[in-house]
Structure 1
């Protein structure tokens, strides 16, 4: 389906409502049971919401905010807002009251959709900052505050009142008036390095990104079931999962939450999932931890299967050589080992799509070995998001793929990746200075250091602003080293420091489950997890694990001192963004005393040189 032959996303959904009227569009779990809306039902629901917006005085170009976690009502709100020609302003459900107020005020949103009483209470707590908000519409029923007008969604939509022909004609007339150049959404960046900026994305930005992304993947896209768990407030899930699925007439299922994703996979049996690297890192370490507990013979079979699989995927997908007898050997181990692993994902998975950050090569290769291909992509909110995507016949396990059609990339003198293409944002909302600063002529400055090989594959080194420059003048990208650390079964998360310092240090987050098992095996007594990570024998364990990683790097890239933290970084704790990226400055400030002690008091030492520099 060529969605670029349509003038807007709502225009595609109107046709899908006719073509696929009885086909499931969106499913969600409620009280332990999955419920669905067909394309015909979904279309009627978002037209009713559009009716409510029009009655409330919303006109084309007005901004309407959505302050909610992923759920069916989020999608109804999004498409209802678009059908009026209005502009959606998504806000992460995890945002604080002040963060939400900033996006609402800066965008000039007149109406705010919110999910729960907790979200509404956040808004009430900053009501003095929401002078432009005329109404809050809640997805759930609860008492409101007289100072901040509230309406329940069903009441707002007049859910039990059929659409009159006059209403339908008016809304569909507005849909007919939407063009590819019209603004679709304003997405506010996380603001981890300053004031959030509102990224303006048009209908064309998102639609061409969805269309070209599907073409680049080169995978069969009919009768797909996508399990959605990344926040729809982030453009990766919104374009790569949500819009791609619904524009193609396929089935979108919302996961209950991030923690339930693996359980939901076995229930939903998806054909595709969009994720960030963290999911694949957990799958990789989880499988290898399970293998460690197996009897010796089963471990040997697994390791042999992986060795054969590694040879197979590199010959078939990278070198594109004849497989010969290797094909039979792989199929044997696939049936014996890998098929059982894939059943944990529902048994129907055709591929994963990964974005948000570079995926470690070892992890990516392993996912291909077990028969669950991961297609890496790269982009930013400002690029809707994809600039590059891997695809069938376009795979390098450590690359983010090749550029999309009509897209150009080049490297600046310092290695920063510059981009041109139809997916580039219109600009930053009400911020001409920031918009101008983001471009070098016609080229958008991504802020990422990259390299491009002779075949056109793009490799992301790290964020330009996150490069560590040591006191000795060495430039170090922390992410590849952190990724290596996270592959260790005793390390859940890792962050490095060393900018303008004489050597590198690291904060490690313990994998509590495997660490507790180790303590039990070694007969180590402890009171709680904090006591355990401070044990001298545990420190020695981590020193040995880091020493093994250090051997993979030149000496100036090795970690000299470290500290182990007892609890994981989290969104709630402020250390992670909603898409699970490290908020480096926040982490440093939160753990400043510990981080500084690694230089002043010399923390736990790692006595192991790296490779010669």
Structure 2
């Protein structure tokens, strides 16, 4: 299907409502059971909402905010707003009231959709700061404050009142007026540094990126099921896992919650998912933890299978070589080991699309070895998002693939990746200065340091602003070191510091299950986890693990000291963005005393720190 033969995303949905009328479009969980809507039913719900929005005065070009996690209501709101001529402006469900107020005021939205009472209460707390909001619409029914009334999406849609021919004609006339140059959305960056900027993307930006990306991937069947769990507020999930899926007549199932993704994978049995590296890190860890519990014989079979799987994946997909004996061995281990692993994730997965951050080579190779291919890609909110993507015909486990069709890439003198293409944004909303700063002679500056090999494979080194320059003048990319640290079975997350300092230090979150298992083997006595990770033996364990990593690094890039944190970095804790990227500035501020103390001790490896239950240094 040629998306660009249509003028807009709503126009394609209208066509699909006829072409795939009885095919399942979306699934969602309600009262413990997954329910679904066909394309025909979904389109009707979109038209009903568009009718309601027109009645309350939404006009062409009006911004309307969506403050919600992924769910059916989000999708209906998105298409309904567009079909009424408005511009959907998403707000991350994890944002605070003040963060939401900034976006609402900056885009001048008069209407805000919320998912739950909790989101509504965030707005209620900042009611005086959002005087322009005239209407709040919720996906769930609850009592609002008299001073700030709230209505349900069902009420606004007047679900009990059938669409008349006039209603449908009015809305579809508006859909026909939407052009490829019209804005499909304004997405505010998640704000790892500074104030969020509103990225203006057009219908053409997103439709072209979805179409070119699907063609580049080239492995989708006629009926696929995508499980959606990354925030639809982020352009990666929205374009790759949502628009591309629905526009091509496929099925999107919304996960209940990020924490229930593994459970939902078994229930939904998806064929495809879009994810960030954190999911694959967890799969890698979970599989290895399971292998650790096996009998010596079965553990030996697992490691032998993995060795054969890695060799098979490298020969077949990276080198393009056929090896019949190796293929026979792989099929045997696939029946004995890998198929059982895949069954734990639904059993039908054909592949993942990965973005948001570079995926570690070891983990990517592991995923391909067990028969769960990960197609690594790279992009930005400002590029709708994809710029590069892997393909089954050309894979490098440490690369983000090759440039998409019609996408031009080049490197600046300092190694920053510069891009041009149909997916590049129109600019930042109400911020001409920031827009000008982001372009150089028509090329978008990505802010990422990269390298491109002779075959066209792109490798992302790190964020330009996150490159560490030590006191000795050495430039060090922290992300590859952090990825190596996270591969250790006792380490869950890692962040490296050292900018303008004489050496590198690291904050490590512990894999508590593994550490507790190890403590039992060592017969350690402790009252709680905080006392456990303060023990000299645990300190020595981690010192040994860091020392082993350091052997593979040049002296100036070795970790000279570390501190342990007994809990993971989280979105709620303010350490991660909604797309699970580390907030380096916030983490440093939160654990500043711990980091600074490691330098006061001059990196002698004797420092040991942990945190208390409330996050204070101990």
**Length-normalised TM-score, structure 1:** 0.98
Deviation at 1:146, TM superposition (A): 2.6
1:325 paired residue number:
325
1:447 matched to 2:441? The reply is no
Whether the 8 Å CA contact 1:507–1:564 is kept in 2: the answer is yes
Q: d(CA) in 2 for partners of 1:526 and 1:606?
A: 21
What per-residue deviation string (whole Å, max 9, x for no partner) do you get for residues 343-377 of structure 1?
11111111100000000000000000000100001
| Cα gap change, 1:438 to 1:560, in 2 (>3 Å) | same
What SS does the aligned partner of 1:445 have? strand
2:314 paired residue number:
314
1:222-261 alignment runs, 5 A limit: 222-261=222-261
Q: d(CA) in 1 for partners of 2:192 and 2:180?
A: 31
What SS does the aligned partner of 2:241 have? helix
Q: d(CA) in 2 for partners of 1:311 and 1:144?
A: 60
Whether the 8 Å CA contact 1:543–1:606 is kept in 2: the answer is no
Q: d(CA) in 2 for partners of 1:335 and 1:406?
A: 41
1:554 paired residue number:
554
2:581 paired residue number:
581
Q: d(CA) in 1 for partners of 2:80 and 2:374?
A: 33
2:162 paired residue number:
162
User: What is the aligned length?
Assistant: 607
Aligned CA-pair RMSD: 1.1
1:389-468 alignment runs, 5 A limit: 389-468=389-468
1:150-549 alignment runs, 5 A limit: 150-549=150-549
Deviation at 1:606, TM superposition (A): 7.9
What SS does the aligned partner of 2:338 have? helix
What per-residue deviation string (whole Å, max 9, x for no partner) do you get for residues 46-95 of structure 1?
10100011000001100000000111000000000010121000001100
Whether the 8 Å CA contact 2:560–2:603 is kept in 1: the answer is no
Of 115-124 and 417-426, more deviation after overlay is shown by: 115-124
1:59-78 alignment runs, 5 A limit: 59-78=59-78
Whether the 8 Å CA contact 1:275–1:352 is kept in 2: the answer is yes
Unaligned runs of 5+ in 1: 608-613
Q: d(CA) in 1 for partners of 2:488 and 2:465?
A: 27
Deviation at 1:126, TM superposition (A): 0.9
Whether the 8 Å CA contact 1:221–1:248 is kept in 2: the answer is no
Whether the 8 Å CA contact 1:486–1:494 is kept in 2: the answer is yes
What per-residue deviation string (whole Å, max 9, x for no partner) do you get for residues 322-359 of structure 1?
21211111111111111111111111111100000000
What SS does the aligned partner of 1:364 have? helix
Of 315-324 and 501-510, more deviation after overlay is shown by: 315-324
Whether the 8 Å CA contact 1:563–1:604 is kept in 2: the answer is no
Deviation at 1:526, TM superposition (A): 1.2
Q: d(CA) in 1 for partners of 2:268 and 2:604?
A: 46
1:145 matched to 2:129? The reply is no
1:58 paired residue number:
58
Whether the 8 Å CA contact 1:508–1:564 is kept in 2: the answer is yes
Q: d(CA) in 1 for partners of 2:259 and 2:604?
A: 33
2:616 paired residue number:
none
Whether the 8 Å CA contact 2:276–2:354 is kept in 1: the answer is yes
What per-residue deviation string (whole Å, max 9, x for no partner) do you get for residues 244-280 of structure 1?
1100111110111111111111111100010000000
| Cα gap change, 1:371 to 1:606, in 2 (>3 Å) | farther
Q: d(CA) in 2 for partners of 1:77 and 1:167?
A: 17
Deviation at 1:38, TM superposition (A): 0.8
Q: d(CA) in 2 for partners of 1:73 and 1:472?
A: 54
What SS does the aligned partner of 1:377 have? strand
Deviation at 1:127, TM superposition (A): 1.0
Q: d(CA) in 2 for partners of 1:547 and 1:272?
A: 39
Q: d(CA) in 2 for partners of 1:562 and 1:421?
A: 43
Q: d(CA) in 2 for partners of 1:191 and 1:301?
A: 46
Deviation at 1:603, TM superposition (A): 6.7
Whether the 8 Å CA contact 1:186–1:429 is kept in 2: the answer is yes
Of 369-378 and 214-223, more deviation after overlay is shown by: 214-223
Q: d(CA) in 1 for partners of 2:604 and 2:527?
A: 21
Q: d(CA) in 2 for partners of 1:147 and 1:198?
A: 29
What per-residue deviation string (whole Å, max 9, x for no partner) do you get for residues 479-510 of structure 1?
00100110111100000000011110000001
